[in-house]
Structure 1
């Protein structure tokens, strides 16, 4: 028996030695550096107080980590780094029993024995247990809860930084998402794998254009309709006078920004666009999808179409299919302000469809209009509320006329600065109420244009007693938008707060709940029909 124990001990020691000497790839080393950099930035009390130039610390350690060869040498670098940051006092507030939203939380990597020595793992676990609890230098919560990134260094003339600073930019962004993005757990690709995939791409970016494309690719991996990046371009984009949608698996003209200009350019509803400047639309769309962020497939396609059709060119050649004929059209593009789209005097606020049915277009309703609208509709049997648009923040005043009691309609979770990666629940959001609300039927219409505040408003309206939601999948991006800088002065954004129905059902990526799905058809567009509104009228008329 003693001999067997000796053999087992020898095997264990041999395996430990092999692990310690195992060569670690460059990507593994850099990924560990990115994680250590972010963890210490947001957890270590001395770093999180802003006492150290943390970006420069990363730049200083970049060549050291690049030259590390194995677990032992890498762990020595990190151990020395942490030892030089100062003593951490035990935290008496850190054992909170709060009910956290933890779907995004994952610090399992700090216990990776293939990368880190036991002494380093102990240090990292101690830092987590005794993390900063006072005011944070690099992050805080906005009044509504979303993350506010603070005190980041400003880098001027960094359109195309050197390799170390390109990697720094990646690490800064990756860690903001890692610890403060409420929907990280819903992304198609695991966020840790994103880091490993993007490191060599950021390293090898050979010029400004390639570098910016890689940043767009990174942000697209959030699968978030709120996510975008602005490179401060002074170029004025020009736009087609028509709206383009993905209908029946084709690229179709679905609406007008300006019907007169569309007519001048011989563009009609239901036209299927096959090519642009001789290039196949499906091929062009597939190229763009990699670089656009959207919560669901339809939203990504719409963003890809936006990238394809809008740009600096004044004229494009479109190959379109109309009925059985294929034509080439030279189409002019315009400054969007030319369309006067949002200030069109013909835009409807509300109207009577018939004696029993009223219609409200939320795109144009202001708070001052609400009382008059419901007063004029008090004898109606049904009201259609059109939310295929971006409404004013008036859900409170609207729900006052839809509910006889206050009702929860949204559960909210926000980033927890004192335990990064975990999120705190806020009190549920409620509707308003009144003693004599509208007693009839409510039909609400939504579609892919229902985004963010529109989706939040739809959730509020859905708390009403007698409501039916008609339409197709909304944009799937709920919660306030958080805007911050990507290294180099570029502005970027993400969804800032987590929004759920009171029962825990997600709206992000899925969109709001729909009772009756209706999609537009090419035939319906050609006939000038609004098939979603037609269905709403039909439902409103049913006894």
Structure 2
């Protein structure tokens, strides 16, 4: 009797759960996931047989009208049935070692929102997934994805609600299945979806909508991630800004002559631009700015606040403990001639013992001559606080006595979306008994990003190397650029980059042996404190 009573209670409870109404946000989260899963997993959809966006638009109202688990599951079962029969997959079982930290199809088996018929169908599709070249996404030779054959939507600066949701869901699924660093984001990607759905639905104008797109992309916590809504160029101050003691501090120049003309000096603390308080504006804007770590996110926010359309602005600054107002000019970035400055130092002999290489300025053709000129040096300082040419292999030929692993890479697995494949470890250097025998000191900071970080990893395989500086940008790997619905350009990191021991570089930055950050006082004195420390180490 007691068993029968308990069974009745369980049955009644399960029946009530089955009949519970599902919120609109939950229902929309399910169609977001079903839309992306079928797009990349179902063989007929993956072949491009259907107008997949139109299918979404067709089923969206039905999903919103569904009252409970059974009615919702019926819609999805009917949708899947309409797509055609799926043959058994002969190649889907694999014992290949895969990177699975981003993989998550647990939602397909959620019995609280899907019935058993639907969960079984979704599992069958996973196990017999599409193995050909997907119509909507392919891979580049370097392993990153290339988004293909997406419809072009005109006049979409502020689309209707169903297309705002479609854009959100397209983007969410690209990240869900092909972004290598999804597992590292501060906010779980599932919760990003449920948070953003009501926001995108209620966006009341173009400005709100575009702000939400920026907020969505910022949730990747990736310095490589950005979105551009138009091609209009902005103007820049001729200064570099760093976050020092949570202040916007002038730490360098894009053009020192123009900085001098505008009375801008190293160590200046920027307080206001026109009437806008920079720290208050940073707090407001930071959630819309992409950055792999806190420091780079703040610095990126400072930069966004400081550039704009107006050529002349008023800055309120703190200099030598005095508050001043100065008028400054903004310029097109090309006016700085920053990348090909005739004043840029390629190399220099700091003293008889120490040589210096500026990686921003040297090319492949320079490398042999540089090492020949430094053959009697005991120390070479390599400055990677910049963006270098792709010449790490040429450097390693002179620095390493043998070939060494420096990077482990994982790339999207197109045969099993959400999984990633490890590639063979990348190596650098050659067997060379005549390699440089002295000490190598590598300089990095928050200007070291992407190729600079990758190059640093390679140089760190040198026989006798030490790395000093501060946290790098934490955005390693190739950049993937694709369109957000409406023609907006957006970007993400495309490959996963690890050290050979699987230490992550994304978000963390590269390994640093001695941490040194510039100080406001040091900048005011015109000192390069990181370089000073390198010279001190080299002189020991």
State the TM-score, normalized to the length of structure 1.
0.98
Deviation at 1:279, TM superposition (A): 2.4
Matched, 1:291 2:309: no
Partner of 2:225: 227
SS in 2 for 1:172: helix
Partner of 1:173: 171
- Counterpart of 2:199 (choices 189, 198, 201) is 201
- How many aligned positions are there? 539
Partner of 2:255: 258
Partner of 1:538: 536
How far apart, in 2, do the equivalents of 1:461 and 1:43 lie? 41
How far apart, in 1, do the equivalents of 2:58 and 2:435 lie? 65
Partner of 2:349: 352
Partner of 1:132: 130
Deviation at 1:63, TM superposition (A): 0.6
Partner of 1:67: 65
Partner of 1:431: 428
Deviation at 1:5, TM superposition (A): 2.3
How far apart, in 1, do the equivalents of 2:195 and 2:153 lie? 25
Deviation at 1:258, TM superposition (A): 1.7
Deviation at 1:52, TM superposition (A): 0.6
SS in 2 for 1:400: helix
Q: Deviations over 1:112-143 (max 9, x none)?
A: 11110010000000000000111211111110
Q: Deviations over 1:397-422 (max 9, x none)?
A: 11111111110000000000110000
Runs in 1 of length 4+ with deviation above 6 angstroms? none
Deviation at 1:442, TM superposition (A): 0.2
Q: Deviations over 1:295-330 (max 9, x none)?
A: 001111111011100011122211111112111112
Deviation at 1:216, TM superposition (A): 0.4
Matched, 1:319 2:316: yes
What residue ranges of structure 2 are gaps of 5+ in the alignment? none
SS in 1 for 2:497: strand
Q: Deviations over 1:203-225 (max 9, x none)?
A: 11111121111100000000000
What residue ranges of structure 1 are gaps of 5+ in the alignment? none
Matched, 1:82 2:80: yes
**What does 1:83-122 align with in structure 2 at a 5 Å threshold?**
83-122=81-120
Partner of 2:467: 469
Deviation at 1:540, TM superposition (A): 0.9
Partner of 1:388: 385
Partner of 1:11: 9
Deviation at 1:435, TM superposition (A): 3.1
Q: Which moved more, 1:10-19 or 1:387-396?
A: 10-19
Q: Which moved more, 1:66-75 or 1:6-15?
A: 6-15
Q: Deviations over 1:434-482 (max 9, x none)?
A: 3311010000000000000000000000011100000000000000001
State the TM-score, normalized to the length of structure 2.
0.99
How far apart, in 2, do the equivalents of 1:336 and 1:391 lie? 19
- Counterpart of 1:185 (choices 183, 189, 193) is 183
How far apart, in 2, do the equivalents of 1:247 and 1:425 lie? 38
Partner of 2:399: 402
